[in-house]
Amino acid sequence: MPLARAFVMLRQLLAPACVVCGITAAHPSGSPVCAGCRDDYFNGNPPRCRLCANRLPAHGRDAGGVELCGRCLAHPPQFDATWALADYAPPVDAMIAALKFHNRLDLGRAFGLLLAERLARWQGDAVVALPLSPERLRERGYNQAEEIARPLARQLRRPLLRDALLRSRHCASQQGLRLAQRRTNVRGAFAAGVAAAGRDLLLVDDVLTSGSTLDAAAAALKRAGARSVTNGVVARTP
């Protein structure tokens, strides 16, 4: 067997498996996702609302050419933009659940690296992970948003600010609540520190559903003097 071919085969055998399919070797670029899964689940660029990343019809643009959904036109959120890797649908939803509830911290790194590729041209100052309450952090043992934000910040060469945003009170789970209930549930849930002042921030979380939690967090950061808040999320619910 030629030496070059043997070397390629050895590299393929030793390469880590794709975190999505678990079969194909990860992408040679260093991404933990193989080329096929990247194309199938993470390389799509459907029309999305610029503010909340909600899916839009292909013709869904306002007169100025800026993509906005009806809800954001009627009630603009406190955050200034949202970048989403994918829709909250198989297999991404199961991957997020594995990260969130089953200690698959390697998926946090994978999501962070993928988000860094999507946000390579972002010109902001620092990264902030959406915090958990102390009660939820003790229960889970880690913050899934920080597991995503840490490799993302490192890849973007931006500081990860751990003291810029705190949970000021514990909230019940948002799951199953209606929009008005979600907004009430997270009202006053966050407090921001002086580290946010004068900065353009990237706020990181795993999923954006109604946007109520990220809206409350962005409002706290702006009250503390943040110039702008851009969301970076793994998935957007359809």
Q: State the Cα–Cα distance between residues 212 and 177, nearest whole angstrom.
A: 11
Instruction: Show pLDDT as tens, one digit a residue, over the chain (238 residues).
Output: 455 554 444 444 556 788 998 887 777 667 788 888 988 998 777 899 999 999 998 754 444 455 899 999 999 999 999 999 999 999 999 999 999 999 999 999 999 999 999 999 999 999 999 999 888 899 999 999 999 999 999 999 999 999 899 987 545 555 554 555 455 555 667 889 999 999 999 999 999 998 999 999 999 999 999 999 999 999 999 8
Say whether both 79 and 190 belong to one domain: yes
Q: pTM of this prediction?
A: 0.84
Say whether both 204 and 112 belong to one domain: yes
Give Cα 146 to chain centroid, integer Å: 10
Say whether both 166 and 130 belong to one domain: yes
Tokens at residue 89, please? Answer: 């649908």
Say whether both 21 and 119 belong to one domain: no
Maximum Cα–Cα distance across the chain: 67
Q: Which residues of 198-214 are buried (b: 16+ CB within 10 A; e: fewer)?
A: ebebbbbbbbbbbbbbb
Tokens at residue 236, please? Answer: 């957007």
Residue 130, domain CATH: 3.40.50.2020
Q: State the Cα–Cα distance between residues 238 and 193, nearest whole angstrom.
A: 33
End-to-end CA distance of the chain: give it in Å, rounded.
51
Say whether both 74 and 168 belong to one domain: yes
Say whether both 83 and 136 belong to one domain: yes
Say whether both 137 and 197 belong to one domain: yes
Of 65, 70, 38, residue with least CA distance to 52: 70
Total of domains in the chain? 2
Of 157, 164, 162, residue with least CA distance to 146: 162
Say whether both 16 and 109 belong to one domain: no
pLDDT at 8: 43
pLDDT at 10: 45
- Residue 191 belongs to what domain range? 47-61+68-236
Say whether both 101 and 87 belong to one domain: yes
pLDDT at 97: 96
